[in-house]
């Protein structure tokens, strides 16, 4: 079974430029998460989807960040415009649904903003 | 690959030793806890979990201990191997009726042959 797929794996942009990250969760997983991981820290939740609905986006900086999961499968996270402080690893995770089942993480996209 | 973190607490052990990684969590109402392993350039990988109604759970070579009185979690790895070298994170579930993980500060485990 394929794991969570993310692309690109690395992205280098200049500040004020837009950037987008793509995530394909494990087949059949209804819940999808986007996290940001700064160097030396644990992942921090940005947004959680249940199917196509964003049910928790309280930690998403909405002035510059947006996300979508139009058909309840793939998801895209966008930053526009990017700032120097956005440099981090952006992780996507998925899990089947409710209950105590674990989250499965993708490899992440490392973003460097110059 | 890139490093997950440059200034993490580090535990250095010899191959074959037992390792203990500790974690303090913040929310006394958290009901579910997970340990993740993160290797350089990869996403976190599930190791073991425990519910708040338990104080110990064992897996293959790993044991998680939960002390709710002092809000402390530990991960014990038996017969540590070089392949265990990674950053380890504990996470607590702060959600009610859904899963919302809050990750702690990681610990880097270095295993020498």
- Would the CB atoms of B100 and A56 count as touching at under 8 Å? yes
Contact present, A83 and A22 (Cβ < 8 Å): no
Tens of pLDDT, residue by residue over B14-35, are 999 999 999 999 889 898 999 9
Tens of pLDDT, residue by residue over A51-110, are 999 999 999 999 999 999 988 899 999 999 999 999 999 999 999 876 667 899 999 999
pLDDT for A8 equals 97
pLDDT for B33 equals 93
pLDDT for B1 equals 34
Structure-model confidence comparison of residues A23 and A98, the more confident one:
A23
Tokens matching residue A8:
């690109």
Choose among B2, B49, B103: nearest Cβ to A43: B103
A106 in contact with chain B, both atoms CB, cutoff 8 A: yes
- Would the CB atoms of B99 and A100 count as touching at under 8 Å? yes
- Would the CB atoms of A105 and B100 count as touching at under 8 Å? no
Choose among A56, A91, A98: nearest Cβ to B43: A91
Structure-model confidence comparison of residues B8 and A64, the more confident one:
A64
pLDDT for A70 equals 84
Which of these, B4, B13, B22, lies nearest to B110 by C-alpha position?
A: B13
Give the confidence band of B2 by pLDDT, cuts at 50, 70, 90: very low
Residue A55, Cβ density class (10 Å: 0-12 exposed, 13-18 middle, ≥19 buried): exposed
Contact present, B92 and B102 (Cβ < 8 Å): yes
For residue B51, the chain A residue with the least C-alpha distance is A100
Query: What part of B 20-59 touches A (C-beta under 8 Å)?
Result: 32, 34, 36, 41-46, 49, 51
- Would the CB atoms of A110 and B2 count as touching at under 8 Å? yes
pLDDT for B99 equals 80
CB atoms within 10 A of CB B83: 9
**Average pLDDT along chain B:** 90
């Amino acid at each position: 079974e394929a794991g969570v797929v993310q692309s690109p794996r690395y992205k280098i942009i200049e500040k004020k430029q837009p950037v987008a990250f793509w995530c394909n969760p494990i087949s059949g997983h209804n819940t999808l998460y986007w996290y940001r991981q700064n160097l030396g820290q644990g992942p921090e939740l940005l947004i959680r989807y249940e199917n196509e609905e964003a049910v928790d986006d309280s930690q998403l900086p909405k002035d510059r960040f947006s996300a979508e999961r139009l058909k309840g499968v793939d998801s895209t996270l966008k930053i526009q415009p990017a700032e120097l402080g956005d440099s981090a690893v952006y992780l996507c995770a998925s899990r089947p649904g409710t209950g105590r089942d674990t989250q499965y993480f993708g490899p992440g996209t490392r973003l460097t903003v110059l | 690959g890139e490093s997950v973190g440059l200034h993490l607490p580090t535990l250095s052990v010899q191959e074959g030793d037992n390792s203990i990684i500790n974690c303090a969590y913040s929310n006394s109402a958290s009901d579910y806890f997970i340990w993740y392993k993160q290797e350089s350039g990869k996403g976190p990988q599930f190791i073991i979990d425990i519910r708040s109604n338990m104080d110990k759970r064992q897996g293959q070579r790993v044991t998680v201990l939960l002390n709710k009185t002092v809000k402390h979690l530990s991960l014990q790895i038996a017969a540590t191997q070089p392949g265990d070298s990674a950053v380890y994170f504990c996470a607590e579930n702060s959600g009610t009726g859904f899963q919302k993980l809050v990750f702690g500060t990681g610990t880097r485990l270095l295993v020498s042959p």
